């Protein structure tokens, strides 16, 4: 039997290098297409993964740790290679991050994108305007023209990434999954920070490998409870790795470094590409949107399609959006008969030891 | 068939040897040392001696508690949540809610009974990263009040007027207690107030899982009659059970779970 290779053994993944011409972004609501059409590579800012030290001079410790970690990276030079960074108004913390990033790293080009909380006609109209402003800002700053043609091409490239990731994700609906939840997380994370042409070649290569294993019939059945993970921004796969090391499989996730990234596609034949982007990026059913019913249906549908046994809800301390959403979601899922485990953590990379007992007890409960 | 359950907690280590019908052949409670392997071996040896058995007589061993992954002779590790549920259910088969207060955490567990009469955990809550409402909280306060932790329960029974303790944080509660001492308030009244504070804190946890009859109390802190009575008051009129040896529920549960694995092995 041919040894099955993982995504990170694919040649394209390892050959990609260089940090030239990158623009950072911190939210799933920022259209990468605008960055690509401006001739740059999108780069997902995930935080410095070091304890916030410098950041506390600008923002209080009671801020969302993702905001503090990202600011720490801006201040300690981790992100000095970026040509610019787009901060979206997804929470008050991010709103202040915009100020602090500009103050603390004056040479950085920081762009602000406002985002309505509702995807009704008014919200869409507003978001369309906000995106047009961002487009104009990018054009002015980098001296480029973002034409409709360039945008349509970028939309096609990004849709290809989303289609390939969706095909891979759907492999997880079966009982023999060719990769772990941790690997899928790492894969989507990698896809958000590298040149999309390279990304698409790598994904295609990996998909072919997975399908080859399937047709050989040499896939391995995955035992253990099937877990869905959701909640706050998670910059590292260590928590998912911990869950899987305790005998469960993370088979789907409502995370921005996960299925939120591939939830829907952008219309490829639009009259106005910015409008098409607004339509897609404002209708991602995240916890910050007011249309809770659409989000609930999306989540319930996911648990059914992926035959979930239990749900792990991860919330970062001070991440109000998710801390406030949890009681609502918990109630809804419990009525549907799904067990939930709530984990509140200081940071997405630490405190795993304390969390282990809870996760292990939860998996014991599901067996 | 003989199985062993070992529960290595942050404060104490318990070993239970169980027989064919889950009857307790012997049990041992020892203070946990820094060297968990040494503690585990000593506790096992003592339990074997009491039951007049040798290591060779044990068919399967399950370890639980914080040190569950550091027991060299264990065949499997299971969390203390599952084990306490099993142990409490064995003591009182009608148990639906378990409140366990240990050295460094407190937990509330909701269970149901499976067809095979085994307990199944339905939901659980653990205290967050804070010592409020744990054995460690009582230990710190015993130190401040200069009393033996084992005497706190009986001392509190002599209280005529309970003092109110409002801080739940161990550090802040400590300074609150010191100022009460300076006001020359009787120790008994302060201790009684501390017990109420623990009961309140634990109750806020329990309320997040469904509180159903019957409730069983487990863990080392339940050796303190004062805390148990406050909990019973808060939970009234629900039926609250207190096992004779609340500390060994986890180890007993581990020994019972071990039996299931012997059955699998021999098949």
Domain ranges for chain A, please list them.
18-148
Task: Give the model's pLDDT for residue A74.
Answer: 95
- Whether B120 contacts B113, CB under 8 Å: yes
Q: Which residues of A touch B129 (CB under 8 A)?
A: 351, 354
Q: Is B123 at the interface with chain A, CB within 8 A? A: yes
Please judge whether A360 and B124 are an interchain contact, meaning their C-beta atoms are less than 8 angstroms apart: no
Task: Give the model's pLDDT for residue B225.
Answer: 94
Please judge whether B120 and A365 are an interchain contact, meaning their C-beta atoms are less than 8 angstroms apart: yes
Asked if pLDDT for residue B71 goes beyond 80, the answer is: yes
pLDDT digit string (tens) for B104-159?
Answer: 888 999 999 888 778 899 999 988 667 777 888 899 999 999 999 999 999 999 99
Task: Give the model's pLDDT for residue A1.
Answer: 36
Q: Which residues of B touch A357 (CB under 8 A)?
A: 66, 79-81, 126
For residues B250 and B103, what is the distance between their CA atoms, to the nearest angstrom? 13
Q: pLDDT-based confidence at A335, cuts 50/70/90?
A: very high
Asked if pLDDT for residue A348 goes beyond 80, the answer is: no
Q: Which residues of A touch B82 (CB under 8 A)?
A: 361, 364-365
Average pLDDT, chain A: 92
Q: pLDDT-based confidence at A345, cuts 50/70/90?
A: confident
Pick the CATH number of A18-148 from 3.40.50.11890, 1.10.460.10, 1.20.810.10, 3.90.1010.10: 3.40.50.11890
Domains, chain B, ordered by start: 1-92+245-267 (3.30.420.40), 93-242 (3.30.420.40)
Residue A77, classed as helix, strand or coil, is coil
* Substitution target from B62, B77, B81 for chain A, most A beta carbons within 10 A: B81
For every residue of chain B, DSSP letters joined together read --EEEEEE-SSEEEEEEE-TTS-EEEEEEEE--S-HHHHHHHHHHHHHHHHT--GGG--EEEEESTTGGG-TT-SEE--HHHHHHHHHHHH-TT--EEEEE-SS-EEEEEEEE-TTS-EEEEEEEE--SS-TTSHHHHHHHHHHHT--GGGHHHHHHT-SSPPP----SHHHHHHHHHHHHHTT--HHHHHHHHHHHHHHHHHHHHTTS---S-EEEESGGGG-HHHHHHHHHHHTTS-EE--SSGGGHHHHHHHHHHHHHHHHHH-
Q: Which residues contact A221 (CB under 8 A, 6 or more apart)?
A: A175, A176
Mean pLDDT along residues B16-35: 94
Asked if pLDDT for residue A17 goes beyond 80, the answer is: no
* Substitution target from A316, A334, A357 for chain B, most B beta carbons within 10 A: A357
pLDDT digit string (tens) for A189-213?
Answer: 999 999 999 999 999 999 999 998 8
Task: Give the model's pLDDT for residue A366.
Answer: 93
pTM of the model: 0.89
Q: pLDDT-based confidence at A19, cuts 50/70/90?
A: low
Among A339, A358, A364, beta carbon nearest to B78: A364
pLDDT digit string (tens) for A48-95?
Answer: 777 778 999 999 989 999 999 999 999 999 999 999 999 999 999 999
Among A351, A354, A361, beta carbon nearest to B81: A361
pLDDT digit string (tens) for A95-104?
Answer: 999 999 999 9
Which residue of chain A is at minimal alpha-carbon distance from B130? A354
Q: Is B148 at the interface with chain A, CB within 8 A? A: no
């Amino acid at each position: 039997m041919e040894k099955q290779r993982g995504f990170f053994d694919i040649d394209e993944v390892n050959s990609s290098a260089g940090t030239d011409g990158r623009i950072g972004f911190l939210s799933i609501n920022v259209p990468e297409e605008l960055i690509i059409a401006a001739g740059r590579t999108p780069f997902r800012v995930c935080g410095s993964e070091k304890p916030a030290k410098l950041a506390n001079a600008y923002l209080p410790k009671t801020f969302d740790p993702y905001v503090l970690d990202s600011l720490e990276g801006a201040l300690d030079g981790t992100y000095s290679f970026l040509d610019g960074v787009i901060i979206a108004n997804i929470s008050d913390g991010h709103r202040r991050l915009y100020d602090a990033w500009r103050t603390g790293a004056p040479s950085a080009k920081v762009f602000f994108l406002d985002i309505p909380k509702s995807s009704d006609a008014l919200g869409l109209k507003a978001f369309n305007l906000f995106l047009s402003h961002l487009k104009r800002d990018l054009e002015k700053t980098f001296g480029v023209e973002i034409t409709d043609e360039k945008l349509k091409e970028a939309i096609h490239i990004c849709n290809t990434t989303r289609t390939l990731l969706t095909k891979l994700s759907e492999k997880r609906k079966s009982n023999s999954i060719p990769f772990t939840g941790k690997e899928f997380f790492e894969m989507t994370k990698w896809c958000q920070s590298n040149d999309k042409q390279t990304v698409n070649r790598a994904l295609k290569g990996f998909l072919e490998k997975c399908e080859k294993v399937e047709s050989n019939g040499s896939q391995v059945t995955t035992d253990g409870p099937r877990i869905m993970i959701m909640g706050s921004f998670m910059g590292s796969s260590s928590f998912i790795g911990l869950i899987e090391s305790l005998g469960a499989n993370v088979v789907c996730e409502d995370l921005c470094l996960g299925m939120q990234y591939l939830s829907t596609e952008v219309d490829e034949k639009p009259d106005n590409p910015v409008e098409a982007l607004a339509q897609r990026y404002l209708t991602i059913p995240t916890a910050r949107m007011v249309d809770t019913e659409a989000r609930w249906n999306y989540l319930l549908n996911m648990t059914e399609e992926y035959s979930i046994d239990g749900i792990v809800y991860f919330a970062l301390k001070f991440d109000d959006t998710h801390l406030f959403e949890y009681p609502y979601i918990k109630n809804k899922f419990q009525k549907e008969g799904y067990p939930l485990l709530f984990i509140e953590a200081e940071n997405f990379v630490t405190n795993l030891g304390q969390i282990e007992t809870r996760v292990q007890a939860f998996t014991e409960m599901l067996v | 068939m003989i199985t062993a359950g070992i529960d290595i907690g942050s404060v104490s280590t318990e070993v239970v040897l169980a027989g064919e019908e889950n009857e307790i052949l012997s049990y041992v409670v020892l203070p946990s040392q820094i060297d968990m392997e040494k503690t585990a071996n000593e506790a096992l040896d003592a339990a074997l001696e009491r039951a007049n058995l040798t290591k060779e007589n044990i068919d399967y061993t399950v370890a639980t508690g914080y040190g569950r992954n550091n027991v060299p002779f264990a065949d499997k590790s299971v969390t203390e949540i599952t084990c306490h549920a099993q142990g409490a259910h064995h003591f009182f088969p009608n148990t639906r809610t378990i409140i366990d207060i240990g050295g460094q955490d407190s937990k509330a567990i909701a269970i149901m009974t499976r067809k095979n009469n085994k307990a199944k955990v339905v939901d659980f809550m653990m205290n967050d990263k804070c010592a409020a409402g744990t054995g460690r909280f009582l230990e710190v306060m015993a130190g401040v009040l200069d009393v033996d932790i084992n005497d706190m329960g009986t001392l509190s029974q002599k209280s005529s007027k309970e003092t109110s303790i409002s801080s739940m944080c161990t550090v802040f509660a400590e300074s609150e207690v010191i100022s009460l001492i300076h006001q020359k308030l009787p120790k008994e009244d302060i201790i009684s107030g501390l017990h109420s504070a623990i009961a309140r804190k634990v109750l806020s946890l329990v309320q997040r899982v469904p509180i159903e009859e019957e409730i069983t109390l487990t863990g080392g802190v339940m050796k303190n009659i004062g805390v148990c009575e406050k909990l019973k008051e808060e939970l009234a009129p629900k039926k609250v059970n207190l096992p004779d040896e609340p500390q060994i529920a986890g180890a007993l549960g581990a020994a019972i779970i071990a039996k299931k694995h012997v059955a699998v092995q021999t098949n």
